[in-house]
A = this chain, B = another copy of it.
């Protein structure tokens, strides 16, 4: 049975890395002693070791060991043998490129589908959708495909940001960008605000955290979904 936590962000303003969601994670990873960390998205270009160190420090608070996938000779075997998996944020184009390069995309989908507890934040959440096409990231590298894990029957827009109605900037708002996606694609998109996450247990998908989320569907007006909502209708 699928078992995922899909978080908009790793960090809330003014609090530490993963702090806001740690009580939830303690339960989520209760049967794991070691978590496999996928640092491929490398925020700010830090090394895999530096990124893994930061994650290990956070998880030490709930007495979990963390090992980076780059520490294994065979990353596919690492995924297959993992007790639990966390994919961190950074750049989604880079993350997806690396997952394909190391042949990890398909085995990752397989083990998560079969119940290995998974945590994603930001880019690591983006890849749980059908495609990475509603990422906010810059295309710093050309991935072989935009197709991602498909653990949920829609796409995500993490770090969802409401339009600033006072702004004089003429660049597109997040909502406009997602509407442009729907000119060419029928996949629903969930705008997940910072502090919200999805809890996936089998086919049941529940919105959690303090905030509402914004759902965009092709040819329909966007709607706000309250926390606690069952997202079974979104497909």
A residues with CB within 8 A of B: 9-14, 42-45, 90-91, 93-94, 132-142, 145-146, 159, 161, 168-172, 176-185, 194
CB distance from A48 to the nearest CB of B (A): 13
Protomer copies: 2
Q: Which residue of B lies closest to A90 (CB)?
A: B180
Instruction: Provide the residues of chain B in CB contact with A180, threshold 8 Å.
Output: 43-45, 90-91, 94, 138, 140
Known: A133-B139, A137-B172, A142-B146. 12 other contacts (CB 8 A): A12-B170, A14-B168, A42-B183, A43-B180, A44-B179, A133-B140, A133-B142, A136-B138, A136-B171, A169-B194, A170-B194, A171-B194
Pair B183/A45 contact, Cβ less than 8 Å: yes
CB pair B159–A170 under 8 Å, yes or no, is: yes
Q: Please, which residues of chain B bring their CB within 8 A of the CB of A133?
A: 138-142
Contact A138 B134 (CB under 8 A): yes
Q: How far is the CA of A183 from the CA of B133 in the complex (A)?
A: 22
Q: Judging by beta carbons under 8 Å apart, are B135 and A138 in contact? A: yes
Partner of A171, one of B93, B161, B169, B184: B161
Task: A182 to B94: give the CA distance in the assembly, Å.
Answer: 13
Q: Report which residue of A140, A142, A168, A194 has the largest number of chain B beta carbons within 10 angstroms of its beta carbon.
A: A140
Interface contact B135-A181, CB-CB below 8 Å = no
A169 touches B161 (CB 8 A): yes
Tell me whether B169 and A159 are in contact (CB under 8 A): yes
Q: Which residue of B lies closest to A158 (CB)?
A: B171
The reply to whether A181 and B138 contact each other, CB–CB distance below 8 Å, is yes
| Nearest 10 Cβ contacts at the A-B interface | A45-B183, A13-B168, A159-B171, A138-B177, A140-B181, A9-B170, A133-B139, A142-B146, A91-B180, A11-B170
Nearest chain B CB to A90's CB is how many angstroms away?
Answer: 8
Bound: A117/B3 CA distance, A: 57
Chain B residues in 8 Å Cβ range of A11: 170
A6 to B48, CA, bound (A): 38
24 CB-based A-B contacts, threshold 8 Å? A9-B170, A13-B169, A13-B170, A43-B180, A44-B179, A45-B179, A45-B182, A45-B184, A133-B138, A133-B140, A133-B141, A133-B142, A135-B138, A136-B138, A136-B171, A137-B177, A138-B177, A138-B181, A140-B181, A141-B184, A159-B170, A159-B171, A161-B171, A170-B194
